[in-house]
Structure 1
Amino acid sequence: MTTDLRVLRPEQWDYWYGKLILAFGGVPEAPEEMELYRELTEFDRSIGAWDGDTCVGTAGAFSFRLTVPGGAPVQTAGVTMVSVAATHRRRGVLTSMMRRQLDDVRRWGEPVAVLTASEPGIYGRFGYGISTAQLGLRIDTSRVRLAAPDGTDDVRLRFAGPADKAVVEACEAVYGRVAAVRPGMLVRQPGWERLPLLDPESDRKGSSPMQCVLAERDGEVVGYARYFIKPQWNDAGPKGIIELRDLEALDPAAYAALWRFLFDVDLTSTVEARNRPVDDAVQHLVSDIRRCEPWLRDSLYLRLVDVGAALEARTYQTPLDVVFEVEDAFCPWNTGRWRLTGDAKGASCRPTTDPADLALSVRELGVAYLGGVSLSALAGAGRVREVRPGALAEASVAFASDVAPWLPHGF
């Protein structure tokens, strides 16, 4: 089947987005959520697949900057709003949109593309791999104690209106400083500060409106927490749940002060956090990690669109000189041998005819790119092949990140 791929026009957005909603089950979103995504949509970076006058596929790409190891914010395509009508599945619609989109991303000069997948099995054939994970916690605060570090009592906490302009600006300043040092975080562009503030009443399911607490020291905001409270009771008394959306802080004392506050909220006995970094320090403050019920889930899927530019954009933990033999059937301009030389100060990556040290596909290179998954682990699964003895250990150590990569919110 042949479909016509067209760039989205502003007057088509309602119809186009309606097709996206239908493909995801047809349950309407809250009006405020739809309005936000309408404003964030970049029309010249969004496409529809058309069968005559009917839109049968949707795809978009936000203009992002993604923090990579070393702290550089790399121009990145945030792939989003991808759908295919149930009437047109298995006819090549998705493949044609992915082909067009990756060609566009390359033309835009963005070396990396990222997405969050509705189903894990969809995007591997287009070169995307799982680059970050998220930690979930369900903490029994009636049984778990928190050991706060020195200085925690010096942090002042106060309630604040989550959407107040000054509060949003202060929280975004904290977020920006955290995002500059943790790979996988998005450097939020104007308008995106509204995403974590979305609080449709229809989505609360018995929870309170969003609440916000600021952590301050010497009059400066050094952390914040946004959360909801779901009151619950049983015959023994109150069993309320704190549903944590965001918690960021600039130092250990502010961080611990915010967590201690959440542990001590009256009429609650559980804190639920569904998306935290896998190395979140709260795991080392609690008295009983088992009663925090930790679990992991896949999060950010990443693809290298331009292998050379992407590998040059980050730094490396130890000096590295390695030749990769890269296979990339979907974006053949990446296929071939690439010599990567780099250290903690910078890197160079160029095509070469030198013998390969490691052989892998572009998918595995993307999985390891942010430093959260080691090349050695991928080799253990048979997905990286060592050609030169010793090259695997050298590259695996160099690619690592001091802090785990993490995506704090979807898009």
Structure 2
Amino acid sequence: MTTELRVLDPSEWDRWYGVLELAFGGVPEAPEERQLWRDLTEFDRSLGAWDGELCVGTAGAFSFLLTVPGGASVPAAGVTMVSVAGTHRRRGILTSMMRRQLDDLRAAGECLAVLTASEPAIYGRFGYGVGSYATKATIDTNRVRLAVPEGVEGVSLRRADLRESSAACEAVYAKLVPARPGMLARRPGWERLPLLDPAGDREGASPRLCVLAERDGDVVGFAHYAVKVDWSSAGADGSVGVHQVMGLDPVAEAALWRFLCSVDLTSSVRVHSRPVDDGWQHLVSDVRRCEPTLRDVLHVRLVEVGAALEARTYQAPVDVVFEVEDAFCPWNAGRWRLTGDAKGAVCVRTGDAPDLALTVRELGAAYLGGTSLVSLAAAGRVRELREGALVEASVAFGSPVAPWLPHGF
């Protein structure tokens, strides 16, 4: 049988999405969740693989604006909803969808693609590198105390309806987007994502709650969370599940963390995904009692090496020639000279001798400043060909704040 790969028609969405649900365990999503993803689907950027009338593969992309080092918002394709039916594995369907996606992105002039991976081992062969990480933690609030900065008492907190406070929370979010690489500017429709709270996904916790932080009448932060009440022989043993905490300054954010760590009838705060350099880690009296763990989040693919490297700035002057290997997108292969600093950059083809040799996957990993080229070289994934070039480039590619993806897609 031959498999046809074609752009998704809106009339095919239910069958297409059903294949995706089956690939991720077969548990149907709540109607409101399914409707949200249908509304956000960009049909002209969604692909289906068809075996006759049977859909056997799915892949899509969202049109995002991604913050890169230097604060610019760069168009990036958010690759999503990728699956292949278990009955049609090892037939090249995934490869054909990845091939078509990247060719289409190049034709459209987009230089970046990003994704979150259910199985990270899959996407390295298509040139994606892990560009950002996040911390997961469980704060033992019976044993851990918070030392908050001066000024916290000047921040007032009030409970707010999740939906009614959405505009105020989105305004806080929008102000923070340019400050951290890896964050996504929310386009119309995406403000609904933080409000999605299907009862079947709560695992015994409360509906999602909201607290606003205010100073002089202005909203300067918010927390979205849920409370799960539990009891042991010693008494109340509930937990606070943190969905999002954002403050416009350290004092506002500390006030929110203090609140979350003092909710009645709870003894722990469960943090699902926070930046690896998040300030709460320095507020707690004993970080070991918080059990922080690291997880990969955003995988980055440079679709056009020259344009992507020119789209960001560099925290130190850099003048380096990369010998790039890219078997999946051969138009990127060869030598590229990057010159740049904090004001801008130029990256062009060159015949000059190379200073560093690496694959496009390593460039993707280092692109947002969260993974150092020195670290990749320690694993044998970057080769230094000119003495001193590795440190020079690694320092330049760094970011003063760690990249972070605030929500999935």
Distance in 1 between the 2:14 and 2:51 partners?
18
Counterpart residue number, 1:162: 162
Matches within 5 A, 1:74-223: 74-164=74-164, 167-223=165-221
Partner SS, residue 76 of structure 2: strand
In structure 2, the residue matched to 1:19 is 19
Deviation at 1:290, TM superposition (A): 0.6
Q: Helix, strand or coil: the match of 2:176?
A: helix
Aligned counterparts, 1:174-323, within 5 A: 174-323=172-321
Partner of 2:374: 376
Letter in 2 for 1:59: A
SS at match of 1:121: helix
Letter of the 2:45 partner, please give it: R
Note the alpha carbon deviations across 1:30-85, whole angstroms, 9 max, x for none: 11100000000000000101111111100001000110000001100000000000
Pairwise CA distance, 1:112: 0.5
Determine the C-alpha separation between the residues in 1 that align with 2:202 and 2:53. Answer: 37
| TM superposition shift of 1:17 | 0.4
1:36 aligns with 36
Give the aligned partner of residue 56 of structure 1.
56
How big is each residue's C-alpha offset from its partner over 1:149-192, in whole Å with a ceiling of 9 and x where there is no partner?
Answer: 0110000100001111xx11111111111111100111111111
Q: Does 1:352 align with 2:355?
A: no
Letter paired with 2:91:
R
Number of the residue aligned with 1:65:
65
Q: State the Cα deviation string for residues 324-377 of structure 1 (Å, max 9, x = none).
A: 010000001100111100000110111111110101000000000000000000
Residues of 2 paired with 1:405 and 1:396: CA distance? 15
Shift of 1:111: 0.6
> Aligned equivalents of 2:326 and 2:8: distance in 1?
29
Per the alignment, in what secondary structure is the counterpart of residue 180 of structure 1? helix
SS in 2 for 1:11: helix
Q: Which amino acid aligns with 1:108?
A: A
**Per-residue deviation, 1:24:** 1.3
CA distance, structure 1, for counterparts of residue 98 and residue 3 of structure 2: 13
Deviation at 1:89, TM superposition (A): 0.2
CA separation in 1, counterparts of 2:235 and 2:24?
A: 39
SS of corresponding position for 2:121: coil
Q: Equivalent residues in 2 for 1:359-370 (5 A)?
A: 359-370=357-368
What is the CA-CA distance between 1:2 and the residue it aligns to? 3.5
Cα distance in 2 for residues equivalent to 1:137 and 1:118: 20
Q: What SS class does the counterpart of residue 321 from structure 1 fall into?
A: strand
Query: What is the distance in 2 between the residues matched to 1:137 and 1:200?
Result: 23
- State the alpha-carbon separation in 2 of the partners of residues 181 and 2 from structure 1: 48
Report the Cα distance in structure 1 between the residues aligned to 2:155 and 2:187, rounded to whole angstroms. Answer: 29
- Partner of 2:21: helix, strand, or coil? helix
SS state of the match for residue 150, structure 1?
coil
Any idea what the Cα deviations from partners look like across 1:198-253, whole Å, max 9, x if unmatched? 10011111100010000001111100000000000011110110000000001111
Aligned-partner Cα distance in 2 for 1:100–1:407: 26
- 1:383 Cα offset (Å): 0.3
Unaligned runs of 5+ in 2: none
One-letter amino acid of the counterpart of residue 97, structure 1: M
Per-residue CA deviations over 1:1-51 (Å, capped at 9, x if unaligned) read 631111001111011101111111211011110000000000000010111
Q: Which amino acid aligns with 1:273?
A: V
Partners of 2:298 and 2:26 in 1: how far apart? Answer: 25
Please, what is the CA RMSD of the aligned residues? Answer: 0.7
Identity fraction in percent: 70
SS at match of 2:407: coil
Residue identity opposite 1:397 in structure 2: V
Structure 1 CA distance for aligned equivalents of residues 3 and 307 of structure 2: 33
Number of matched pairs: 409
Deviation, structure 1 residue 408: 1.2
Question: How many Å separate the matches in 1 of 2:336 and 2:158?
Answer: 53
Mapped partners of 2:253, 2:77: distance in 1: 31
Partners in 2 of 1:134 and 1:263 — Cα distance? 20
* 1:21 aligned counterpart, secondary structure: helix
**Distance in 1 between the 2:293 and 2:357 partners?**
32
**Structure 1 stretches (4+) deviating beyond 3 angstroms?**
none
Equivalent residue, structure 1, for 2:390: 392
